[in-house]
Amino acid sequence: MNTKKSEITDVTRKRILADYYFDNYKKYRRIKKYPKASEFLWGALNNLVYALGLILYGERPSTHSKIKDIINKISVDFNKPEIADLFKASAEVLHANFYHDFLDEDSFNYHAENVERLLLKLAQILEKSTSKS
């Protein structure tokens, strides 16, 4: 199989998964199941970063530390320090909240809104990157 075509297929699949997880995040946020909403929001982010890692760097980030590395690369390469800042300040908190359920409603909403902003920035980069290929 053509590697480029395979990568595009993987990017598309990961983008679809990110959308699916984001839709589920909204559902669980609405019913105030914050640990589950945290899991789905992390899943959306993880899949979007995977797609970006693949299309921008030819990497398939498969661990938390590799996801963080891709985020930091994107932040530097696109001169958008807020990407790394939002990840560090809120995405990792929500990831931990899935396991430990420690955020109250206000704290959850604060971090979730930050991650939504992060996802929007990443989705815009992905859109521009895929329209070039």
- The answer, yes or no, to whether residue 133 has pLDDT greater than 70, is no
CB of 34 within 8 A of CB of 105? yes
CB of 54 within 8 A of CB of 10? yes
Rounded to 10 degrees, the C-alpha dihedral 16/121/56/80 comes to -170
What mean pLDDT is predicted for residues 56-80? Answer: 97
Number of folded domains that form the chain: 1
Per-residue pLDDT tens over the stretch 8-40? 689 999 999 999 999 999 999 999 999 999 999
pLDDT of residue 23: 99
pLDDT of residue 71: 99
Split at pLDDT 50, 70, 90, the class of 6 is low
- The answer, yes or no, to whether residue 3 has pLDDT greater than 70, is no
The CATH number for 25's domain is: 1.20.120.330
H helix runs in 1-104, sequence order: 3-30, 34-57, 64-77, 81-86, 92-100
Range of the domain at 120: 3-132
What mean pLDDT is predicted for residues 46-50? Answer: 98
